[in-house]
A and B are shown apart, each in its own frame.
Chain A
């Protein structure tokens, strides 16, 4: 059966390989050939894939969802096209239509030509010959992209044998090892027989890349390949992807919402909004001269990790439109500060911004933007600066609101069987120390598994910690007696969760959600009513919406409701567990600004947990860097970002993708080896020793100290920061960022 399909379709495969030489030479291609402001210069030769006027729509119960509306682009071997957009902009659907993996209810029109052969309208069977052989895909979530039932070796071999049934067993085996070696998996020979669950997320993504490049494809589609990964792992994967591209010479389509990732990895950029391309240019042009207001807004809204937060972020008002109900005219016009009544009449097409380097953008007022050389600060109103934070009372004189000293939390590791014997302990938090003063923001940074959330839960539980000390507003948790004390303290200590979907009870209206904390503290009805109106205005929501259910709000609005609930009882300390990680860039900026405003107004202390260092530089005053349950560096944000003292902080900072292609190209990266070690292992010495780049440069005696002696937080006279390292980096004149 399988052989039969192979035979039937083999003429197609041959044509694809040779190409029938047809290239659509139109205006679109002409402009693309001019895009030279990138690291690789202008594209040369004929494109391998041409997409013209691609439309994809789905029939849904709510109506026809027009996910992609007229996308055009060409792909060249060896070049990377970055498709950027927020969720729901149609970027993933575009990618899936290239490889023919859309659902059956999708209607695809237009043309996708590979080497001149039309792919739209091919059956699934015909496409399966092309998939994996000519076009390969790397998916977002490496945890679900591999079958748990088969070994890694089997899964790589599957792709090879499907397309090359005549390959010998030995040849397949050798190729698998070669591939694993290429993507940087140590001991490939042995790892071939491992199952996916024995690999970490980053390792699995490497395997996915290995499978994708197994047959030397012409096009690799990477759909948010690093979104699910930590920042240091992300740097590794982007590296592997670049290497894989070099090796296969494939064209890469990189789909992402992260402007930092495209800045370092792409040559050309296509910005999508509501299913349509709204701007296209080579990488440097997009970042230097964005011309469509949406692109400008997106670049303005993104926090920059490489510069000090001198300016506030500029949010884009409103929400992206629903694809079922796209407004007439320019879909961005309801959110665009430049919009005129004409903008809602007809949808503009891509027009030329700069003919010499093929920069195109779709905006009705493009001429004006180009002739006046408008920047995003001209288009979007920049919010007022915050009042100087320490103006009234200097930091040292402010009361400490939250203090954590040498906090320890371990979880028992139980064996199977009837009695669940404890066979070991996992230390999730091991020596966390920090202090927050009134009106100050402390950011707790670290990769997943470093114990950030556990620290928050330990504080919120208000129980005596396993070891160490937690002091909330002067109350040592060890001395709290009974429920009454705790309840009284909860009024002043509140938390905001990461996912606004699950932090609001879907069965309660916004009114009930906001009233809940007030009822606990025995407010009367009239006061509650008054307070809820106040809260809704405070977080920028219309008070008339109190009778709606949370599901009727968008992600950003829901996060505002969570913030309103946390603020209801007027707390003094607010813990924020990745509050903006699940929001789109344009929405993020609005929430960050709201948090800053609230702090300035209400003098709340924030403990801000995040893995996104760019956001942290924007919002926090001080930073505590965590690694495997320990705070390894603690200091003023500017000190930590410019002069990291702990080698881990330095590596973390160098791994952040910077949304500026010029900076991105000139930066040198410290790529850490391997993954976070298991917290169940016992580390007598420094926990970072196994991955530390500095340790390798030390003498054997010093290395022994790293392995055998646990460093604790200490400072020195070089700067204000504290660090847990025996051999800290020196403070030099040149800054890390």
Chain B
């Protein structure tokens, strides 16, 4: 979805009100501006954006006001409760939780967003392309999808990440999650495209001489936008979950690097004695998911021409 709106943005002229010709010249609002206007009309979407912005700013600049680095353990305070020197307490290893959460949120966001966007982008383009071209392209494309579905992805990702070193581990995690995550979505999108490609406006574009790739980007992908957006949003949450699961098994993010998932994993073993370790990362994770959900709903309504935004044309 993102690349589609970007391309529409780029191709639509940036508001051209040079009305020299008088009434024949039309006032035109670019597609991007129009979508933005419809998006920000919805209070819940604005709340989502504000929440996400706060989280992102927190992840980016939170460390500058911290007293400790995430990789500087305080051996005098193991599993310490929140105090003036450790605002959110410390974990059993003595690391400052505030610093851990800031760093972990950044890592989780990065993994979640990159994985989800990349997954949906590949799925959307692959799915619509094989459905649009049909014939042999479709048959071979479906055959590849079917083959990929039977690959044991979890095991392969674990092996990939294990083989990498600690600092590049998260990149390999993203690559692994993306490489095996898009297959299911591509199948769904192909099925939806099968009915879209028979629409008259797709035929009309073809008969105007619009290129195949442009038809896919301008007509097919945007018309699947609500599906793609919802899946992207849920995909962020899903990717964070996968990352957590892998970290829990010890094959995800490796120390000293950290993520929300690995903090949670530390916290769940000390839930009786030091519940604050679980509290902070959970709250941040929930806020992250909640904001993504609100943004997803807002975007869907903004992109959907049938939604309540905007009136009727008279006569």
Contact = CB atoms under 8 A, between A and B. Distances in A.
Interface of A: 317-319, 322, 460, 486-487, 490-491, 493-495, 497-499, 502-509, 511-512, 516-517, 519-521, 525-526, 528-530, 532-534, 536-537, 542-554, 557, 562, 565, 569
Interface stretch (B77-85, B118-126, B199-207): B199-207
B26 A502 contact: no
Interface residues of B, number: 39
Contact of A503 (B23, B29, B201, B210): B201
Nearest to A537: B24
Interface stretch (B87-95, B237-245, B307-315): B307-315
A519 B214 CA distance: 11
Query: Nearest 7 pairs between A and B by C-beta?
Result: A503-B200, A549-B305, A533-B24, A490-B209, A487-B209, A497-B200, A517-B208
Contacts of A494: 207-208
A552 B200 contact: no
A549 B223 CA distance: 13
29 contacts: A322-B312, A460-B207, A490-B209, A495-B204, A502-B200, A502-B201, A504-B201, A505-B223, A508-B31, A508-B222, A517-B209, A520-B210, A525-B13, A528-B13, A529-B16, A529-B25, A530-B24, A533-B23, A533-B25, A533-B26, A543-B23, A543-B26, A544-B26, A547-B27, A547-B29, A549-B310, A552-B310, A553-B313, A569-B208
Contacts of B66: none
Contacts of B34: 509, 547
A486 B209 contact: yes
Contacts, number: 123
B306 interface: yes
A507 B26 contact: no
A497 B204 contact: yes
A427 to B, nearest CB: 22
A546 B26 contact: yes
Given A503-B199, A507-B303, 12 more contacts: A322-B312, A498-B200, A499-B200, A506-B305, A516-B218, A517-B209, A547-B29, A551-B306, A552-B310, A552-B312, A562-B204, A565-B204
Residue in A487, A507, A526, A554 with the greatest tally of chain B CB atoms within 10 Å: A507
Contacts of B306: 506, 551
B29 A516 contact: no
A517 B210 CA distance: 7
Contact of A512 (B16, B31, B200, B208): B31
A408 to B, nearest CB: 21
B28 interface: yes
A528 B29 CA distance: 14
A192 B310 CA distance: 54
B26 A536 contact: yes
Contacts of B199: 502-503
A627 B200 CA distance: 25
Interface in B49-68: none
A519 B223 CA distance: 20
A546 B209 contact: no
A557 B222 CA distance: 24
Nearest to A545: B313
B300 interface: no
B208 A551 contact: no
Given A495-B207, A497-B204, A529 B26 contact: yes
B286 interface: no
Interface in B1-43: 8, 11-13, 16, 18, 21, 23-29, 31, 34
Given A490-B209, A551-B306, A546 B223 contact: no
A512 B208 CA distance: 14
A490 B18 CA distance: 31
Contacts of A544: 26-27
Interface string B197-236: 0011101110111100000001100110100000000000
A517 to B, nearest CB: 4
